[in-house]
Amino acid sequence: MAPGLTPVTREGPAASAPPVASAHAETVRRLVLGASVALLLVVGLARPNAAQPDLDPRGWAPGTLLPLTLSPAVVTGLLWAAYLLGAVTVAIGVRRDVSPLRRWWVPGGLGVAALLVAPFGSADHISYVAYGRILVSGGNPWVESPAAWHGGADPVTSRVEAPWTEEPSVYGPFATLLHGLSAWLGGPQLRQEVWVWQVVVVLAWLATRWALRTALPQRLHGRVDVVWTLNPLVLGAGVLGAHVDVVATALVAVAVAATARLAGPRGAAVAGAAVALAASTKITYGVGLVALAVAFWLNRSRGEDGRPARVAAHLGALLAGFLVVAGGLQAWGGGHVYDQLARSRQAVSLATPWRPLLEALRPVIGNPEARTVVSAGAALLAVVLAVALVRMTRRDAAPDDDPRLDVAASALRVTAVLALAYSLAAPYSLPWYDVLVWAALPALVAGPVDLLALGRLTLMCLAYVPGRVLGMTPGVESLTLGLRREVAPWLALALWVVALAVSVGAGRGGSGRWSAPPRAGSRPTPTR
């Protein structure tokens, strides 16, 4: 398999292979999976509710297909059940050698279903098309707030929900171009504009599956379907929520696939351009550039016909592709693109362990100073957790004969480690921020990193149900905010402790030095 973040251990390839799924376990997994997805679809197909903002009038876009009015308590219960069942099916799948889907009928069917629902779990999709509408109407979405646009009388921007009504766009220029395309094609009805955006998101989700199957050997395609294609948590939090993170993740995955499809510096340049699009969608997805650079370096001694890879040429082409595309988009977007990002960089969300610390520090040292301490602590913790996750990763089977797959899989491994460390440590974090983690996880052998990622995403999904700040009864608001404020931070803290403890255990077990694993048929390096 690919070199990269793979410790040299005494375990052979057979020792790390997951057990073959028994017929009974696979039947249970499929039943649980079906129940989870069905519950998610019920929420999205029903009438507007506490999780799903009202988008009417629908115009030519799909409307409500289930004439059900779900109370805030029922919506909360359905989503909690869906996400818990989804966690069960993923936990079963990652520990077993599940066969991949042979054709695209199932992903295609799920994609069609996703286009029939109204997005739920937040009202972010309304903000997306509102910024796009401002753009195509001649305004600057990085300066204008939705509530102020056209005096608050615009039929789309006026529908943006709290707390984003007064906030200009925090998204990059490429995301804003896609938002503008959605507004242009779907206007002037809000439901139509959102539906066009849903098409973009679903296509991105399917493109990610294609890219992962391109970048990884066939033996890992079943794992791709378990953690990405048929993962109810990714479907619910990302795809059915119509979040821009799905689009940015697809661009990173396509960048990685480019190194497997195109040889030499040409593939590196295309990869750099794709990562530039991802970072110009949401700045944090620039992690793909770091992952690819590390992957090229780790594979520097491997090349066609046994010659050393031209790492300098690859790195130069990667950086050039990135700078040309990112620079062009930045020039088009103008000087205010990242104004809002700079203003919000010290935000702290309720469900992270940093929130109780912030509340404790503010009366003592003041709010700005407390936020600075939190930001610095989070940056340090992210580094520590990244090191811990590296120590926890296990060795995969021998690499494939094609060195381009080695680069691609190495890049995904680095991405998984960095993205998960960031998600765990970030002061401001939401469920859909984990989408990139799950796109990269197929490159890792099943192990504790899977369970950490699953624990993190499950916790965040449960904490942010139903997801909006409107439409809840006092009882549901008290229950859900109580989970978010009083329970989730301490469970997230427990995940930090578990990650560090497992890492220490892995180190004591003698994981050895980090290096590229040997080529197929060569002798493993012994542990020192």
Instruction: Give the predicted TM-score (pTM) of the model.
Output: 0.91
SS (H, E, C) 234-260: HHHHHHCCCCHHHHHHHHHHHHHHHHH
Question: Would you say residue 284 lies in a domain?
Answer: yes
DSSP string of 380-426, one letter each residue: HHHHHHHHHHHHH----SPPPS-HHHHHHHHHHHHHHHHHHHHHHH-
- Vertex 446: Cα angle to 445 and 451 (nearest 5): 135
Q: Which token pair is 300?
A: 């520097």
Tell me the β-bridge partners of 20: 97
Q: What is the pLDDT of residue 371?
A: 95
Question: Would you say residue 421 lies in a domain?
Answer: yes
pLDDT by residue (tens digit) across 144-196? 999 999 998 999 999 999 889 999 999 999 999 999 999 999 988 999 999 99
Where the chain has pLDDT below 50, the residues are 1-17, 304-307, 396-398, 510-528
CA distance 18 to 8: 18
CA distance 318 to 299: 15
Range of the domain at 479: 13-508
**Domain total for the chain?**
1
Would you mind telling me the total number of residues written for the chain in this entry?
A: 528
Question: Would you say residue 77 lies in a domain?
Answer: yes
CA distance 129 to 372: 33
Question: Would you say residue 5 lies in a domain?
Answer: no
Instruction: Name 362's Cβ contacts closer than 8 Å, sequence gap at least 6.
Output: 370
CA distance 462 to 467: 9
pLDDT by residue (tens digit) across 365-404? 999 999 999 999 999 999 999 999 999 886 544 455 566 6
Question: Would you say residue 208 lies in a domain?
Answer: yes
Instruction: Name 357's Cβ contacts closer than 8 Å, sequence gap at least 6.
Output: 373, 374, 377
Q: What is the pLDDT of residue 300?
A: 73
Instruction: Name 189's Cβ contacts closer than 8 Å, sequence gap at least 6.
Output: 57, 58, 59, 61, 155
Burial of 443 from C-beta contacts in 10 A (0-12 / 13-18 / 19+) = buried
Residue 186 is which amino acid?
A: G
Burial of 408 from C-beta contacts in 10 A (0-12 / 13-18 / 19+) = buried
Question: Would you say residue 528 lies in a domain?
Answer: no
User: Which residue shows structure tokens 């619910």?
Assistant: 236
Name the 3-class secondary structure at 148: coil
Question: Would you say residue 525 lies in a domain?
Answer: no
